[in-house]
Structure formats: C-alpha cells, structure tokens
Structure 1
C-alpha cells in the first residue's frame, strides 16, 4: 500500500500554498502601507524585509514584532516537523540489523542532516532576533553563507 497517494500529495501542496499565503499576507500588507522616504538604496545582497524596513520613515516596531512572530512560528513549526521526521529516520537506521548497513545509511543521511541544521541555524540567527541585535553586516554575511551552503 502506498502512503503518498495523489490526493494526499495534492492536499499537502495546497496546504503549503495556502499556509504560506496566510502567513506572508499580513506582513506584506503592513509593509506596503508604510511611508518610505530618503534614499532608495538597500545595503544588502538579497531582497530581505529588515533592510527594507530601515527605509521607512515611521515607527516600525509593530511590523518588526509581526515579522518576529511570523518567523518564530514558521521556523519552530518546520523545525518541530523536521525533528520528528529525523527521529523516525534515525530510529529506522538503528533497526538495521548489520553494523555496516547502519554505518552506510547514516553516512548517506549525515550530509543532509548537516545542511538542514546549518539552514535552520542561519535562519534563526537572521530572522528570530530582536531588532536591537540586528546587524546589517552580520545579516549580509549570513545571507551569503546561506546561499552558498544551501
């Protein structure tokens, strides 16, 4: 019996799209309504929210709080799902009868574990930090590192 049916796959895709839209719409509407002034130059390599907010000429604390909460929910939610998934994978690896089979399987998965861990670590450092600790220079380095690693 196949676990992933076409119907299940379609529902997962639809859920991801709707969930993404619902999570990104409030911050996008808040940012679109901000008055922007001054130089239209963003000191960053990628199109990211925090450098854009520095161009706003109004109080952005509500928008920053919203960004923080949305980032926290998305990162912690996906991290929890990833940890549960990896726990199942690791428990399956431990049930492989031969030591050589376990070693080969874990070696295959280890690089993926490392890349995903780096991706989550960088995302937490960039998006789940209070604005007082926000450093444009550090964010640029982390963004480039994220692009190279993942």
Structure 2
C-alpha cells in the first residue's frame, strides 16, 4: 500500500492465480499458442510477399493483419509467460507500463480499422466485380493500410496520456497479466468518473466506427449472394467471406466486451478472459481461419515450400 502523497513508479502484476502446477500447465499452453501464432502468421506474411499469385488486395490486407497479430500478441504474452515461469517477477516500471498499454491499444485499433477496410473490399468484390480492379487498385490499398496504422497510433495518444496523468497511490498491485487500463484506474486515488466517461465515448467511436461499414458491407454482401441463382455460386461466395466474418465476430465482440462500457474497473476475472481472447486466442486462430479453407493460399504455400526445398537442395 502506498501513501496518499506518493504515486507508484512501478507495478506488480499478479498474473494468474493458482498453484505452481497450474502455472506450469498455463505456461505450456500459452507458450504453445504463442509459438503457433508467431509461426503461423509469419508463414502468411512470407507467402503473401513472395508468391505472385497472391498479389491482390485481399491477401495484401491479410498480410498486414498478420503483422498486426504478431505485434499485438507480442506486447504482453512474452512478459506473461515470464511471470508464469518465474512467479513474483512480474514487476514493470511506470514508463514500460505506459508503453505496453499504448502499443497494445494502438495496434488493436489499427487492426479494427483494417478489418473494416477488408469488409469493404469484400463488398466491392461481391457487389461490383467488374469495377473491382479500378476501385481497389494498388494505390488505394496502400493508402487504406497507411490510414489504418496512423489512425490507430494517433487515436490512442490521449487515452493513454490521460490514464497516466492520474496518481496511483492506492496500491501498486495490478490484478492482471499486463497493464490493463481498468486495473490502473482502480488503483488511482483520484475521482476517475469523468476520465472513464471520456474513455468510454472514445472507445465507442474507435470500435463502432469500423464496425458500421462492416455491418453495412455484409448486409449488402448477404443480399447479393442470396440473389445468385445457383447453389454452388452462393456456396462459393459465402465461403469467400466466411473466414473474415468469423474473425470480425470474434475480434469486435471481444473489444466491445472489454471497452464499450461506462465503468472500466470491471471484475478482473472477466477482463482477464476477454483479454486472453484478444491477445492469445484471436491471433492464434488467424492463420487457421484465413488459410485452411483457402485453396489458393494452400497452393501458394506449397509452391513456396517447393522453392525452398529446391534452393536448399542446390
């Protein structure tokens, strides 16, 4: 416990409760998920970059989405694994805590913006196929990605700045496995109601903003697909959009649960579960959702493996 006149300069993260045996099981589980996440998304990035058959807007966006997933999960999971392996070592400085929270929120916001852009890309592909190459040209795609990254990193400057302008004198213990904003507000000795309300409004704008074009796009997409006369044509169109739609439901659903609420200091157990969905589960599922049923990507990945084998053989 800290004195009323002093503010914490470092925080101790409690991580996950339980015995040492439970912590070992969690470590092995999360280490496996993290390793598969990094390797799977890296495979997507390399395959999209080197295979000329995947030089299209859909795979261009998918490559950047995979980059974001690797970076997002890497902001917190390695530190979490260290804490599970060596208990009572999860001490993080105030500056490192601010940097971790800023990177996590910024990368997450960029990802939501990119998911909204991908939904619009699917809409153009399904509803305006003849004009697709004109609308979604290389210049447009590059600008979409740049805007997504810039929007993410600019929009989270004030929320993180406002959070760390508070005085943290109630305690320097955070009941989480990373520097969660709700836990930071909880240990502040100031009245945080106004700050929480502003953060709530900004979360609504940041999350609902990309969600609206996503919902509108899929409304038109579903309407257009249902008008296709052949069952095989409808099935093919649905399968093209199903992976992205599944990812959207998981990603936006987790973020809505975490941040679109007037009271940020929700029970730590709920926040831990939702944070695991965003930081561990969603990045882990990304390679499987977007590639397992994608024959074009599987073929391109096979070509990359053949080229690597021939290179090593020579």
Do the structures match in fold with TM over 0.5? yes
Question: Following superposition of structure 1 onto structure 2, how do residues 68-147 of structure 1 map, counting pairs within 5 Å?
Answer: 68-131=200-263, 134-146=266-278, 147=280
Shift of 1:125: 1.4
Q: 2:200·2:261 contact (CA, 8 Å) conserved in 1?
A: yes
Q: 2:196 aligns with which of 64, 70, 89?
A: 64
Consecutive unaligned residues in structure 2, runs of 5 or more: 1-132, 284-314
Q: 1:132 to 1:30 in 2, by over 3 A?
A: closer
Q: Is the 8 A contact 2:185 2:265 kept in 1?
A: no
In 2: Cα distance, 1:121 partner to 1:128 partner:
10
Offset of residue 74 of structure 1: 1.2
The answer to whether the 8 Å contact 1:68/1:129 transfers is: yes
Aligned residues: 150
Greater displacement, 6-15 / 20-29: 6-15
Which of 160, 164, 170 is residue 28 of structure 1 equivalent to?
Answer: 160
Contact 2:174 2:183 in 1 (8 A): yes
1:19 to 1:112, Cα distance in 2 relative to 1, 3 A = closer
Contact 1:53 / 1:60 at 8 angstroms: preserved in 2? yes
SS at match of 2:173: coil
Verify the 8 A CA contact 1:46 1:143 in the aligned structure 2: no
| 1:148 is aligned to 2:281 | yes
3-state SS of the aligned residue for 1:2? helix
Distance 1:42 1:133 in 2: 12
TM-aligned CA distance change 1:112 to 1:4, over 3 Å? closer
Deviation at 1:49, TM superposition (A): 1.4
The answer to whether the 8 A contact 1:68-1:127 is kept is yes
Distance 1:80 1:105 in 2: 22
Residue by residue over 1:99-125, the C-alpha shift from the partner in whole angstroms, topping out at 9 and shown as x without a partner, is: 122123324433432331132222111
Deviates more, 1:136-145 or 1:66-75: 136-145
SS of the aligned residue for 2:189 comes to: coil
127-136 vs 49-58, greater mean Cα deviation: 127-136
8 Å Cα contact 1:44/1:140 also seen in 2: yes
Computing the radius of gyration from Cα coordinates, the structure with the larger value is 2
**What is the RMSD of the two structures over their aligned residues, measured on CA atoms?**
2.4
Distance in 1 (CA, whole Å) between partners of 2:227 and 2:166 is 55
Report the equivalent of 1:43.
175
Higher relative contact order (CA 8 A, sep 6+): 2
Q: Which aligned segments of 4 or more residues in structure 1 are displaced greater than 3 angstroms? A: none
Instruction: Check whether the contact 2:168–2:184 (CA below 8 A) recurs between aligned residues.
Output: no
